[in-house]
């Protein structure tokens, strides 16, 4: 009966959308399944209303020569145990059935909407009382409450369905309340600007378009549940009494004749199931239509030509696959990462090449959206769904990683290349004790037994500077501070004694003092364990602290690469220079911090020429014309700028 309470749960998502009614309606009719359901429902309602006009027979006319017949020309849906025409009885029976369903729906929507509005506007204890009442209503099996009502109001289905409407009002109540609270907050923010608080009518005008869709969904769901419950009560013999028909009591009649004629079950139960199905599909259709119109409002996709131009911007020189450096631990050559969405693939990492030597700490610097994390994830073979390495080579310690079988790649991960991430707290399984998480890795990577693994966990926790390893091992992630969690994540990453540690913004989420401690720890471990580090960051202070070389990325491309001292002394790319100037730690005292104007363009909207040109103060027409190649500046330096000389001169 209320077995589907789960689906009367409010769909609060759409409640926050501001989709207008008209596009929703249009989207609705375009869905064939929804359109068919609407048509079917209308047909049933009209047929039931018009029963006296269209019914082939009288609902109570018996014919004992013609009982329990299957479908025939004379009786399209057959006859029942008293020889009455089933189609006629379904048409007449639908009247009481649909009326009590509509009654429950009207009560639920009216009471739920009113209570939701009141709770949303008044808040405070009114809200709390209504909320608790709704909880109590949902806590009991509805049918048992309805039995009490029916015990009191004998055979009065109208009373029972009125009560059921009240119980079901919990669904619309939650939806309307959520929408009301959202609108109220928005209006107060607007009102604060122009002074004066919003009146009731303004409130309603804003609220109406927002709640209409969700309330329609609720109405469909509530009607569906009410129809099942109402027919269920009639089936139990607690509603319409014989000889008068209703859909539910006709199923009961079919049940008592089940040994003689099974056909009787088909039209009687079938009409209930089909009507409920139609209501459910209408609800789903409205929900999807709202979601679609919302998506259409919000997402302005970049136009096709822009995307194509951006792809054409790959310079021929960058496309040349160079040979990997055999002396390097990690050698990345012309790696390109594409994201395949709904349209054509969009490049997010564009032909990136670099080397990391054994035992070296290498910095990968740039603002967010420049492709740093994507590059790091590509190395791990852990690109998010939809992203893929579209070209280039990744060679790690003599092994070609691109094209490695997933299982083999999985064996590299954790054991030879490990990673720690930006948010240490969410990178640990919240339901596992920290010690067990580390032990899980230790047992796999170092093939340890249970007891040995426990000893190793304590050893590692001590290595990462945790004061009380035995106690910490028993804690859950949520019981750790950010710094402790990052230390624990580091301990886990060290279980395989990896040759390369990828640290993606390892200190960004931490307090300043903890940042310094974790950096010290990283430097110390890098030395003692002879480990290489790829440090992904936007913070030059962190790079200066740890790295010997660094690479700057902008809009998917490498724009500069150099020894750390050279980068700080004489940046060759205006973006590098801008990042350095924007860093508070490195800035000269008593000077103004210079932020770079503008922001990183989204992948797919990259300019044809130099991608930094729109934000650059050195820009000339030449920069905008065609892609700029990465130029070598002797030794291990390279930069992607036509005006490197000027950058150097202007800063000296």
Partner 1 sequence: MIGNATIRMIIRRLLLSVPLLFVVSVLTFGLVALTPGNPALEILGGSATPAEVTALDQQLGLNQPLVVQYWQWLVRAVHGNLGVSLYSSQTVTGDINSRIGVTLTIVIGAVLVSTVLGVALGIVSAVRGGWLGRLTDVVSLVGFAVPNFWLGLILVTIFSVKLGLVPATGFVPFSTSPNDWLDSIILPVITLAAVGVTGVAKQTRDSLRDVLGQPFIVALRAEGVPERTILLRHALKNAALPVVTMMGLFFVGMLGGAVIVEQVFGLPGVGSLAVSATSTHDLPVVQGVVLYFTIIVIAVNLILDVTYGLLNPRGRVS
The distance of closest approach from Cβ of residue 8 to partner 1 in the complex, given in angstroms and rounded to an integer, is 10
Residue of 357, 415, 523, 637 that binds partner 1 (CB under 8 A): 415
Measured from the CB atom, the residue of 428 and 642 that comes closer to partner 1 is 428
The distance of closest approach from Cβ of residue 446 to partner 1 in the complex, given in angstroms and rounded to an integer, is 12
Query: Per rule CB under 8 A, is residue 405 in the interface with partner 1?
Result: no
Stretch that binds partner 1, among 68-76, 406-414, 535-543, 544-552 (CB under 8 A): 406-414
Query: Per rule CB under 8 A, is residue 78 in the interface with partner 1?
Result: no
The four Cα atoms 472, 475, 476, 479 give a dihedral, to 10 degrees, of -80
The distance of closest approach from Cβ of residue 430 to partner 1 in the complex, given in angstroms and rounded to an integer, is 7
Query: Per rule CB under 8 A, is residue 265 in the interface with partner 1?
Result: yes
Query: Per rule CB under 8 A, is residue 259 in the interface with partner 1?
Result: yes
The DSSP annotation for 282-296 comes to HHHHHHHHHHHHHHH
- CA torsion sign for 4, 9, 10, 12 is negative
Q: At what angle do helices 157-168 and 86-122 cross, to 10 degrees?
A: 40
The span from the CA of 519 to the CA of 548, in Å, is: 14
Q: What phi and psi, each to the nearest 5 degrees, are found at residue 485?
A: -65, -40
The distance of closest approach from Cβ of residue 428 to partner 1 in the complex, given in angstroms and rounded to an integer, is 6
Residue of 54, 76, 152, 295 that binds partner 1 (CB under 8 A): 152
Site for partner 1 in 423-462 (CB under 8 A): 423, 426-433, 440-441, 444-445
Helix ranges (DSSP H) in 11-55: 12-15, 21-30, 32-49, 51-54
Tell me the two tokens of residue 1: 């009966």
Residue of 55, 419, 542, 628 that binds partner 1 (CB under 8 A): 419
Residue bearing tokens 């190793």: 456
Query: Per rule CB under 8 A, is residue 303 in the interface with partner 1?
Result: no
Helix (H) or strand (E) holding 86: helix 86-122
Site for partner 1 in 154-213 (CB under 8 A): 154-155
Site for partner 1 in 215-244 (CB under 8 A): 224, 228, 231-232, 235-238
The distance of closest approach from Cβ of residue 395 to partner 1 in the complex, given in angstroms and rounded to an integer, is 19
Site for partner 1 in 352-381 (CB under 8 A): 380
Within the chain, what is the greatest distance between any pair of CA atoms? 111
Residue of 149, 328, 473, 510 that binds partner 1 (CB under 8 A): 149
Query: Per rule CB under 8 A, is residue 648 in the interface with partner 1?
Result: no
Query: Per rule CB under 8 A, is residue 633 in the interface with partner 1?
Result: no
* Whether the Cβ atoms of residue 75 and residue 69 lie closer than 8 Å to each other: yes
Site for partner 1 in 476-515 (CB under 8 A): 476, 478, 489, 492-493, 495-496
The span from the CA of 263 to the CA of 68, in Å, is: 8
**How many of the chain's residues bind partner 1 (CB under 8 A)?**
80
Tell me the two tokens of residue 304: 């096709």
Query: Per rule CB under 8 A, is residue 151 in the interface with partner 1?
Result: yes
The distance of closest approach from Cβ of residue 376 to partner 1 in the complex, given in angstroms and rounded to an integer, is 10
The four Cα atoms 569, 573, 576, 582 give a dihedral, to 10 degrees, of 90
The span from the CA of 250 to the CA of 263, in Å, is: 12
The distance of closest approach from Cβ of residue 614 to partner 1 in the complex, given in angstroms and rounded to an integer, is 33
Query: Per rule CB under 8 A, is residue 408 in the interface with partner 1?
Result: no
Residue bearing tokens 């996709």: 301
Measured from the CB atom, the residue of 69 and 353 that comes closer to partner 1 is 69
Query: Per rule CB under 8 A, is residue 410 in the interface with partner 1?
Result: yes
Helix ranges (DSSP H) in 447-582: 450-463, 469-473, 482-493, 512-529, 540-546, 564-569, 574-581
The span from the CA of 386 to the CA of 87, in Å, is: 54
Site for partner 1 in 105-144 (CB under 8 A): 136, 138-144
């Amino acid at each position: 009966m209320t077995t589907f309470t789960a689906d009367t749960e409010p769909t609060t998502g759409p409640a926050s959308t501001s989709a207008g009614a008209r596009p929703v309606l249009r989207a609705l009719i375009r869905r064939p399944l929804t359109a068919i359901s609407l048509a079917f429902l209308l047909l049933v309602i009209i047929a039931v209303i018009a029963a006296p006009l269209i019914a082939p027979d009288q609902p109570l006319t018996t014919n004992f020569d013609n009982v329990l017949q299957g479908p025939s020309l004379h009786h399209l849906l057959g006859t029942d145990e008293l020889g009455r025409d089933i189609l006629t009885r379904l048409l007449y029976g639908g009247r009481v059935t649909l009326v009590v369903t509509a009654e429950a729906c009207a009560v639920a929507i009216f009471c739920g909407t009113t209570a939701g509005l009141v709770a949303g506007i008044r808040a405070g204890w009114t809200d709390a009382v209504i909320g608790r009442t709704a909880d109590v209503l949902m806590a009991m099996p509805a049918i048992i409450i309805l039995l009490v009502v029916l015990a009191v109001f004998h055979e009065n289905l109208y009373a029972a369905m009125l009560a059921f409407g009240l119980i079901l009002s919990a669904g619309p109540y939650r939806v309307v309340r959520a929408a009301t609270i959202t609108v109220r907050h928005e209006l107060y923010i607007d009102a604060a600007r122009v002074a004066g608080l919003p009146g009731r009518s303004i409130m309603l005008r804003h609220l109406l378009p927002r709640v209409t869709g969700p309330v329609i969904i609720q109405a469909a769901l509530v009607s569906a549940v009410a129809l099942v419950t109402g027919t269920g009560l009639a089936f139990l013999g607690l509603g319409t009494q014989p000889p008068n028909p209703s859909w539910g009591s006709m199923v009961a009649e079919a049940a008592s004749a089940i040994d003689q004629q099974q056909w009787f079950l088909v039209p009687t139960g079938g009409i209930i199931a089909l009507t409920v199905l139609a209501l459910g599909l209408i609800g789903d259709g409205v929900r999807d239509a709202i979601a679609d119109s919302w998506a259409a409002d919000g997402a302005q996709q970049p136009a096709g030509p822009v995307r194509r131009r951006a792809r054409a911007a790959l310079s021929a020189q960058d496309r040349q696959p160079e040979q990997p450096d055999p002396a390097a631990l990690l050698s990345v050559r012309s790696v390109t990462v594409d994201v395949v969405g709904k349209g054509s693939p969009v490049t997010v990492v564009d032909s990136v090449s670099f080397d990391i030597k054994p035992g070296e700490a290498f910095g990968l610097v740039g603002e967010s959206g420049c492709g740093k994390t994507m590059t790091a994830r590509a190395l791990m073979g852990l690109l998010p769904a939809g992203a893929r390495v579209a070209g280039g080579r990744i060679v790690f310690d003599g092994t070609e990683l691109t094209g490695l079988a997933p299982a083999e790649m999985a064996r590299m991960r954790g054991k030879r290349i490990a990673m720690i991430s930006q948010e240490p707290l969410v990178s640990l399984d919240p339901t596992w004790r920290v010690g067990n998480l580390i032990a899980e890795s230790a047992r796999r990577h170092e093939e340890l037994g249970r007891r040995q693994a426990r000893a190793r966990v304590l050893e590692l926790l001590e290595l990462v500077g945790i004061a009380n390893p035995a106690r910490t091992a028993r804690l859950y992630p949520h019981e750790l501070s950010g710094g402790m969690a990052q230390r624990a994540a580091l301990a886990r990453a060290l279980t395989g004694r990896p040759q390369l540690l990828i640290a993606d913004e390892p200190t960004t989420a931490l307090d300043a003092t903890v940042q310094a401690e974790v950096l010290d720890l990283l430097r110390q471990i890098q030395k003692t364990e002879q480990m290489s580090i790829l440090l992904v960051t936007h913070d030059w202070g962190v790079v200066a602290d740890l790295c010997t070389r660094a690479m700057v990325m902008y809009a998917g491309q490498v724009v500069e690469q150099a020894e750390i001292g050279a980068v700080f002394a004489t940046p060759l790319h205006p973006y590098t220079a801008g990042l350095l100037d924007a860093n508070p730690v490195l800035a000269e005292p008593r000077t103004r911090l210079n932020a770079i104007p503008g922001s990183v363009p989204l992948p797919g909207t990259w300019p044809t020429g130099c991608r930094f040109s729109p934000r650059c103060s050195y820009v000339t027409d030449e920069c905008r014309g065609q892609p700029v190649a990465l130029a070598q500046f002797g030794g291990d330096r390279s930069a992607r700028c036509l005006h490197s000389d000027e950058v150097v001169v202007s800063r000296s």
